[in-house]
């Protein structure tokens, strides 16, 4: 007698290979027992209710095997055992207390053998949730008359300035990889599309070794005409993300459970109407508990996290918008506040105390844009095609950008962005 | 009295600025008359039925202006007049016969001032159709249990070999831009996702100056487990594209009309069940009209076009699948036919006589994959992480890739792929 536990379409089923006159030979039982783990088999058999409950199977049925073919044979010794890769920290700790040492698979080993690692239920859940996030994002925006665009990743010059760009030779011309679709999505608004969005890779050559930075990630970008006020952009953020979170909770229950059973997390707390605080209100809340923030500076990661805690305590939400940031800490193309140019028509959005969205109204007046670029130390000549786009009639507009991997990481309360990138790229990793 | 024709949400409306006691001053009329074209205005007024029909407006109503604000002033002399950019060849020819020379805006000028060029009704239509194609693609696949993935564009080595890759320095390591998600989408299948798709940029450093090649375009990629036969992949192609064409014809009527009124085309002829011919049948059809094709070679562009004609005449379709290509003309990872290894489990798909899709069953046996790579002159060491992915149990699988810009170009019968790329990249163009 031999047991095989097989996975198919997210289910695991136990297959019983037992010698039987006429149908199953002892040789077949031997063949089944000798199959290496993770080999792929075709099975023909009779579905039945097993005598004893089956451990480790999602279905309490059994297939009594009649025919068995090995379609793809895995190497006998796998670099990762799936059992180990699927184990939660809690399980490891519990075993340790009982005097048993269980294998813990470290991050690098997981990523080196990613095709094995992603077979765990938690990882299957993570990437199915990721697929759902992108689709919820798109469906909401399409229903609000946004047009999906695809802007070039290969550009002359650097997309937003700074040193963190990947440079390359483009048919003899110096070029770089877009750090965001910022310039081209704005140009699309100048092209009369009214409201646009894009889902695509963005490239950052930063030497960041944190839990939340990657050198390549998937950007969810939005840009839209503004009729009266930059709050129109925040309204879209508000309704879009509430709709997305609702949709995830409703449609991804099994995937969220799969993630939670290996990496336990509390469901995200969010309000029906997203909380909006001004930057001034935010730093006042921090000041009230004794944390001094430079009024025209920026929040560091620690202050953001602390403010997230305070907001959760006071307002009962882990998702909120902080707006009207000091102009000095925003990119050159950010529109200053009309009533006080030390502030700007901009916002960041936070999940569980971490920034995930950055947005703003943009400067649409070419002369003023030139002036702002120069004031920020940018050589205006290098972005002339961008600035020229505003000379032929440009509507007031704004938008925002989100990292897909961060949304999934923070919605699921995961501790590392490498968990939500299928084949992550960081300063030390460009394979597999 | 002054007239302004304004565009808003795809409509054009005539605004009448006429001096009136109490409401409209002569100064305002003068201000309106002096506004440069393509400037953006806010208008407050009374909607009414005009005395005479309005030329060039989509709506036969008029706004009698009471208040008028210029939000963004365009430069007085535009590099392209929209009237010129929106003109069809037929109109130009007709005028010429009547002795009048109308301005024809050439492709390069259009692309240099793309933000103006895309404001024409035809271009607005093209990119709204493009948005719809991507969405139809996704919705169909999601409904068939495919998972959307995002694979890295930055990779070590070259994704499919060959010289046509953009190379760059990745933190001191040699790297390149993915020529397709081929390897990583296959690795995702090895990762147990069952069925995956991706929409994202692909990069080709080819020196192609044709009407249908770009250095960067949007790839629509699919990969899936195969249970029994590579026809399962062709079944998806068949149903996916028929659903997409139906959806375009049903939901994009206005956009298709807008394209057709500048660039006239016949609606695509396609069957409810997509025609499938073997490569052998295809070359026999060509042979029957006196065109000799090397039986184990490939079709050149001219032969493809001719075969498209013959298929249209015989079967009444401009969309068909040609499969069972000679193995020698397909990439190393293509699965040979089990009954004749000179052929392969592969296919191309054609619209209006041009290839748009390439697909196949892939080799999932690592030893055989190594052998095929070596036979095709590829250094196996450079693709070892890819080949190793198949050593831990790999299901039989196949897939295909499509260029989004080509689908739109050929569905609309356009003559140049630069028309369906928002900011095209070719060997000579990396701006705007």
pLDDT, tens only, B120-159:
999 999 999 999 999 999 999 999 999 999 999 999 865 5
Question: Does the distance separating the beta carbons of A385 and B431 come in below 8 Å?
Answer: yes
Is B211 in the active site? Answer: no
Counts of helices then strands in chain B (DSSP H, E): 14, 15
Q: Are strands B40-48 and B62-72 parallel, antiparallel or unpaired?
A: antiparallel
Query: How large a percentage of chain B has pLDDT more than 90?
Result: 85
Q: Is B7 among the residues known to form the active site?
A: no
Interface test with chain A among B423, B428, B429, by most A beta carbons within 10 Å: B423
Residue by residue, DSSP assigns B29-98 as HHHHHTPPTT-EEEEEEEEE--SSPPTT-SSS-EEEEEEEEEEEPPPSS-SS-HHHHT--HHHHHHHHHT
Residue that is written with structure tokens 């290839």 in the block:
B355
Q: Where in chain B is the domain with CATH 2.40.50.140?
A: 2-72
Q: Cβ–Cβ of B430/A39 closer than 8 Å?
A: no
Provide the 8-state DSSP code for B354: E
pLDDT in tens, A316-349: 999 999 999 999 999 999 999 999 999 999 999 9
B363 CB neighbours in chain A (<8 A) are none
pLDDT of residue A159: 54
Q: Which of B79, B89, B44 is nearest to B65 (CA)?
A: B44
pLDDT of residue A163: 66
B422 neighbourhood in chain A, CB within 8 Å = 149-151, 184, 188, 191
Active site residue B204: yes
Q: Which of A158, A180, A358, A421 is catalytic?
A: A358
CB-CB contact of A151 with A188 (8 Å):
yes
For B79, the closest chain A residue by CA position comes to A392
- Tell me whether residues A171 and B428 touch, CB distance under 8 A: yes
Of the candidates B154, B191, B207, the beta carbon closest to that of A119 is on: B191
Reported pTM: 0.96
Q: At what angle do helices A253-262 and A121-143 cross, to 10 degrees?
A: 140
Q: How far apart are CA B216 and CA B405, in angstroms?
A: 10
Q: Tell me the torsion sign for CA atoms A224, A225, A230, A232.
A: negative
What token pair was written down for A422?
A: 């299928």
Out of B180, B188, B358, B421, the active site residue is B358
Residue A358: CB atoms within 10 Å: 19
Cβ-Cβ contacts under 8 Å for A21 (sequence gap 6 or more)? none
Each residue's pLDDT tens digit, A174-206:
999 999 999 999 999 999 999 999 999 999 998
B66, B44 Cβ separation under 8 angstroms: yes
Q: Show residues of chain B in contact with A113, CB under 8 Å.
A: 392
Q: Which CATH number fits domain B2-72: 3.50.50.60, 3.40.50.720, 3.30.70.890, 2.40.50.140?
A: 2.40.50.140
- What is the percent of chain B where pLDDT is above 70? 98
The nearest alpha carbon in chain A to B167 belongs to A168
- Cα–Cα distances in angstroms (integers) from residue B12 to residues A2, A144, B5, B264, B298, in the given order: 74, 21, 6, 22, 50
Residue B352 has pLDDT above 70, yes or no: yes
CATH superfamily for domain B121-419? Bira Bifunctional Protein; Domain 2 (3.30.930.10)
Is the previous residue joined to A432 through a cis bond, with omega within 30 degrees of 0? Answer: yes
A277-303 mean pLDDT: 95
Taking the CA of residue A1 and the nearest CA in chain B, the distance in Å comes to 23
Q: Which residues contact A243 (CB under 8 A, 6 or more apart)?
A: A136, A140
Annotation says A232 is catalytic: no
Separation of alpha carbons A216 and A205, rounded Å: 8
B304 vs B214, B245, B270, CA distance in Å?
20, 22, 17
Residues in chain B: 432
Closest residue, chain A, to B218 (C-alpha): A150
Q: How high is the pLDDT of residue A60?
A: 82
Express each pLDDT in B5-64 by its tens digit. Answer: 888 877 888 889 999 988 899 999 999 999 999 999 999 999 998 888 877 677 788 899
> Testing the interface with B: which of A10, A72, A224 to mutate, by most B Cβ within 10 A?
A72
The verdict on whether A206 is a catalytic residue reads yes
pLDDT, mean over chain A: 94
DSSP labels for A150-203?
---SEESS-SS-SS---EEEETTEEEEE-S-SHHHHHHHHHTT-SEEEEEEEEE
Query: Measured between CA atoms, how close is A78 to chain B, in angstroms?
Result: 7
Please report where in the chains the tokens 């997305």 appear, as a residue: A244
Average pLDDT over residues A111-135: 97
Whether residue A166 and residue B153 make contact (CB cut-off 8 A), yes or no, is no
Q: B285-333, pLDDT tens digit by residue?
A: 999 999 999 999 999 999 999 999 999 999 999 999 999 999 999 999 9
Q: How many C-beta atoms surround the C-beta of residue B288 within 10 A?
A: 9
User: Whole-angstrom Cα distance, residue A303 to residue A392?
Assistant: 42
Q: What was the pLDDT predicted at B344?
A: 98
pLDDT of residue B273: 98
Q: CA nearest B112 in A: which residue? A: A385
Chain A residue whose CA is closest to B152: A423
User: Residue A400's beta-bridge partner residues?
Assistant: A222, A359
Beta strands A346-351 and A354-361, pairing class: antiparallel
Chain A nearest CA to B52, separation (Å): 29
Give the pLDDT of residue B162.
64
CA distances from A219 to A151, A199, A358, A402 (A): 12, 6, 12, 6
A155 contacts B142? CB cut-off 8 A: no
- What pLDDT is recorded for position A210? 93
Marked catalytic residue, from A198, A216, A225, A355: A355
Q: Which two tokens stand for residue B44?
A: 């407050």
B119 belongs to the catalytic site = no
CA separation (Å) from B413 to B87, B255, B268, B352?
Answer: 17, 14, 8, 8
- Say what the pLDDT of residue B161 is: 58
What's the distance, CA A210 to chain centroid? 15
Q: Are strands A216-225 and A167-170 parallel, antiparallel or unpaired?
A: unpaired
A187 contacts B114? CB cut-off 8 A:
yes
A148: which residues sit within 8 A by CB, 6+ positions away? A138, A141, A142, A196, A197, A198, A199, B130, B131, B134, B135
A20 pLDDT more than 70: yes
Asked about B212 being catalytic, the answer comes back as yes
Which pLDDT value is given to residue A61? Answer: 87
Angle separating helix axes A279-288 and A301-315, nearest 10 degrees? 90
Q: Nearest CA to CA, how far is B272 from chain A (Å)?
A: 28
Q: Which residues contact A27 (CB under 8 A, 6 or more apart)?
A: none
Using an 8 Å CB-CB cutoff, list chain B residues near A35: none
Q: Above pLDDT 90, what percent of chain A?
A: 86
In contact, A323 and A234? CB cutoff 8 Å: yes
- Yes or no, beta carbons of A215 and B154 under 8 Å apart: yes
CA–CA separation, B236 and B397 (whole Å): 13
pLDDT confidence bin for B163, thresholds 50/70/90: low
**Separation of alpha carbons A410 and A424, rounded Å:** 17
pLDDT at B259: 98
* B199, B220 contact by CB (below 8 A): yes
Q: For position B159, what pLDDT does the model report?
A: 54
Taking 90 as the threshold, does the pLDDT of residue A54 lie above it? Answer: no
Ramachandran area for residue A140 (φ above 0: left; ψ -120 to 50: alpha; else beta)? alpha
Q: Return d(Cα A260, Cα A412) in angstroms, integer.
A: 8
Residue B399 parent element (H or E):
strand B397-403
Which of A71, A73, A156 is the closest to B430 by Cβ?
Answer: A156
Long-range contacts of B48-56 (CB under 8 A, 24+ apart): B50/B14, B50/B16, B54/B14, B56/B5, B56/B12
Could you report the predicted ipTM of this complex, rounded to two decimals? Answer: 0.96
A147 to B138: CB separation less than 8 angstroms, yes or no: no
Is the distance from CB of B181 to CB of B202 less than 8 angstroms?
yes
Q: Closest to B155 (Cβ–Cβ): which among A188, A391, A430?
A: A430
Give the H or E element holding residue B265: none
Q: What is the pLDDT of residues B357-384, one digit of tens each?
A: 999 999 999 999 999 999 998 888 888 8
Cβ distance B38 to A134 less than 8 Å, yes or no, reads no
Contact at CB, B187 and A134, closer than 8 angstroms: no
Contacts of B119 in chain A (CB under 8 A): 191-192
User: pLDDT value at position A175?
Assistant: 93
Distance from CA of B164 to the nearest CA of A (A): 11
**Which has the closest alpha carbon to A40: A9, A6, A64?**
A6
- From B113, which residue of chain A is nearest by alpha-carbon distance? A389
CB contact under 8 A, A127 and B193: yes
Contact between chains at B393 and A431 (C-beta distance less than 8 A): no
Q: How confident is the model at residue A379 (pLDDT cuts 50, 70, 90)?
A: confident
Cα angle vertex B111, ends B110, B115, to 5°?
80
pLDDT digits (tens, 9 = 90+) for B195-228: 999 999 999 998 989 999 999 999 999 999 999 9
3 state SS of B266? coil
Mean predicted confidence (pLDDT) in B257-278: 98
Nearest CA in chain A to B81: A392
Positions of CATH 3.30.930.10 in chain B: 121-419
A138 and B138 within 8 Å at the Cβ level: the answer is yes
For residue A392, the chain B residue with the least C-alpha distance is B74
Can you spell out the DSSP letters for B184-243? HHHHHHHTT-SEEEEEEEEE------STT--SEEEEEEEEEE-SS-THHHHHHHHHHHHH
Cα of B296 to nearest chain A Cα, Å: 30
| Whether B118 and A430 lie within 8 Å, measured CB to CB | no
| Cβ contact, residue pair B192, A135, below 8 Å | no
For residue A162, the model assigns a pLDDT of: 64
Q: Are B218 and B138 in contact (CB under 8 A)?
A: no
């Amino acid at each position: 007698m031999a047991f095989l536990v097989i996975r198919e379409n997210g289910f695991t089923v136990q297959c019983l290979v037992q010698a039987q006159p006429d149908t199953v030979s002892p040789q077949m039982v031997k063949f089944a027992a000798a199959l290496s783990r993770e080999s792929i088999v075709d099975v023909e058999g009779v579905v039945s209710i097993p005598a004893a409950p089956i451990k480790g199977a999602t279905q309490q049925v059994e297939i009594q095997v009649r025919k068995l073919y090995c379609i793809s044979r895995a190497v006998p010794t796998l670099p990762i055992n799936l059992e180990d890769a699927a184990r939660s920290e809690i399980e490891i700790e519990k075993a340790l207390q009982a005097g048993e040492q269980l294998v813990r698979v470290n991050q690098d080993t997981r990523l080196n053998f990613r095709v094995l690692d992603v077979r765990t239920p938690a990882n299957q859940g993570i990437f199915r949730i990721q697929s759902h996030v992108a689709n919820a994002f798109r469906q909401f925006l399409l229903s609000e008359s946004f047009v999906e665009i695809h802007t070039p990743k290969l550009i002359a010059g650097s997309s937003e300035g700074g040193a963190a760009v990947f440079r390359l030779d483009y048919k003899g011309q110096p070029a770089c990889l877009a750090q965001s679709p910022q310039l081209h999505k704005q140009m699309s608004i100048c092209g009369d599309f009214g409201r646009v969005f894009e889902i695509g890779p963005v490239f950052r050559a930063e030497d960041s070794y944190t839990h939340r930075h990657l050198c390549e990630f998937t950007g969810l970008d939005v840009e839209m005409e503004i009729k009266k006020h930059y709050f129109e952009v925040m309204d879209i953020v508000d309704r879009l993300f509430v709709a997305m979170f609702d949709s995830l909770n409703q449609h991804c229950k099994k995937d969220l459970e799969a993630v939670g059973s290996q990496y336990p997390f509390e469901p995200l707390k969010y309000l029906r109407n997203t909380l909006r605080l001004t930057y001034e209100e935010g730093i006042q809340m921090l000041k009230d508990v004794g944390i001094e923030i430079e009024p025209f500076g920026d929040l560091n990661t620690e202050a953001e996290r602390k403010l997230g805690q305070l907001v959760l305590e006071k307002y009962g939400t882990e998702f909120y918008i902080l707006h009207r940031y000091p102009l000095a800490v925003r990119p050159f193309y950010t529109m200053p506040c009309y009533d006080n140019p030390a502030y700007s028509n901009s916002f960041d959005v936070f999940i569980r105390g971490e920034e995930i969205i950055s947005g703003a109204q943009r400067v649409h007046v070419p002369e003023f844009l030139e002036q702002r670029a120069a004031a920020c130390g940018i050589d205006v000549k290098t972005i002339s095609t961008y600035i020229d786009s505003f000379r032929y009639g440009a509507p007031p507009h704004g938008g925002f950008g989100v990292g897909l991997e961060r949304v999934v990481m923070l919605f699921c309360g995961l501790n590392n962005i490498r968990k939500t990138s299928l084949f992550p790229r960081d300063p030390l990793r460009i394979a597999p």
